[in-house]
Amino acid sequence: MKTLAENPLLALRWLLLLGMAVIFTAANSYFPAAGNIFALGESFALLGLVALGLALTILAGEFDLSGGAMVAVSGLIMLKCGADNAVLGLLAALAFGGLVGLFNGIVTLKLGVSSLVTTLGVMILLSGFAVWLEGGQAINFENYDLTDAFNMDWFGVLSPRSVITIVLFVVTGLMLAFTRMGRDIIAAGSHRKAAGMAGADVRGAVVTTFVLSGLFAALAGALLAITLGRASSTFGANLLLQGASAAILGGVALSGGVGRPFGVAIGVLVLAVLNNGLGLIGASSPAILLLNGGVLLIAVLAGGAPATWLRARLA
């Protein structure tokens, strides 16, 4: 009861996750099978990287709206530049993601305006750029060996993508907990003025979160393109909203400075399990939309006045 009193959201997302796992297992015996865990890992990898980057910017007191559109653009760059040499394509996609992140960070700080505004402009720009790159047709990847390599499974359940994503979650978590940069990022999101006066490198921290957000989103897009063997400007359409939902569900406070990558990972898992399970039991599309909304509503209520009331009663 103690954790529930301290942080109802924390307990709630575990409850949601375990509850859904039990229900879906009961409803469809394929749910806990290795093949499905593998598929879950794939959705975790895609949404996870976008949510992790977005969560970093929120931690630093900003908000990167451009992550979803970046997934589409970077996938297209990956296949356009990587048709002959996949490493070149991956580097081009990552370089583009990092540069756009750098631009987001520097422009936001230089202008002293909200990053919601600057990254909205970049988001619209990127979605236009994606359609332009695509040139009217989805692009296919001819390097079947690489696609196959990325679709192999380790121990039946892990894919290269999910392993890369898990590693990045761990590294980001360690960075936030144990490095000076991590402390600066959290300080920048908690009380920026005070952090700057206390000697934290606030500007460096904010720019770093945008660069990482761009890099993570670009990596998510490039890996998606390799795995599927094709890229399209419509990839990433819902990722921004889902990523934001996952981050908040994972305990990241929109006001900045509060949240951990581990929580974000749980938030991503909740959404991934929900949609995977609903797909398995053949839920209708209104049911999927309503349940997604319902889960978010529960999460949002757990962060509002009802939770404060509950906390007061339990304490």
Partner 1 sequence: MSAATLSRTSGFGGLFAPARVQATVIQIATVVMFLAACAFIENFASASNISSILYAASTVGIAAVGLASVTISGNLFALSLGSTAAFASIVYIAASGWGVLPALAASVALGLVFGLLQGLVVGWLRCNAIISTIAAGSLIAGLATWVSDGRTVLAEGGPSWLGSGTLIPGVPWQAVLFLLIVIVGEVLMQRTRAGWELRLRGTNPDAAELAGLRVTRMVVLSYVLAGAGAAIAGALIAAQSGTGNLRVGADLDFSAIAAMLVGGVAIGGGRGRIIDVASGTLFLAVLTNILLVNNFAYEVQLMVKGLAVLVAVTAGALLARKKR
Q: Which residues bind partner 1 (CB under 8 A)?
A: 107, 111-114, 116-118, 120-132, 241, 244-245, 248, 254, 285-294, 296-297, 299-301, 303-306, 308
Is the separation of the CB atoms in 46 and 217 below 8 Å?
Answer: no
Locate tokens 């590693």: which residue? 167
What is the nearest approach in angstroms of partner 1 to the Cβ of residue 72? 12
What is the nearest approach in angstroms of partner 1 to the Cβ of residue 126? 7
Determine the straight-line distance between the first and last CA of the chain, rounded to whole angstroms. 9
Written as six digits, the tokens of 224 are 């998606």
Cα–Cα distance measured from residue 294 to residue 282, given in angstroms and rounded to the nearest whole number: 18
For 45, what's the count of Cα atoms within 13 Å in the CB-facing half-sphere?
A: 27
246 burial (CB, 10 Å; 0-12 / 13-18 / 19+) is buried
Angle between helices 202-228 and 86-111 (to 10 degrees): 150
Question: Across-strand partners of 231?
Answer: 139
Buried b (16+ CB within 10 A) or exposed e, 115-133: beebbeebbeebbebbbeb
Question: How long a stretch of residues is the chain?
Answer: 315
With H, G, I as helix, E, B as strand and everything else as coil, classify residue 158: strand
* CB within 8 Å of 137: residues ≥ 6 apart: none
What is the nearest approach in angstroms of partner 1 to the Cβ of residue 185? 21
What is the nearest approach in angstroms of partner 1 to the Cβ of residue 44? 20
Cα–Cα distance measured from residue 255 to residue 62, given in angstroms and rounded to the nearest whole number: 9
What is the nearest approach in angstroms of partner 1 to the Cβ of residue 111? 4
What is the nearest approach in angstroms of partner 1 to the Cβ of residue 134? 8
Angle between helices 8-27 and 305-314 (to 10 degrees): 100
What is the nearest approach in angstroms of partner 1 to the Cβ of residue 164? 27
Cα–Cα distance measured from residue 125 to residue 104, given in angstroms and rounded to the nearest whole number: 12
Amino acid at 261: P
Nearer to partner 1, 3 or 255 (CB): 255
What is the nearest approach in angstroms of partner 1 to the Cβ of residue 213? 17
Cα–Cα distance measured from residue 204 to residue 201, given in angstroms and rounded to the nearest whole number: 5
What is the nearest approach in angstroms of partner 1 to the Cβ of residue 286? 4
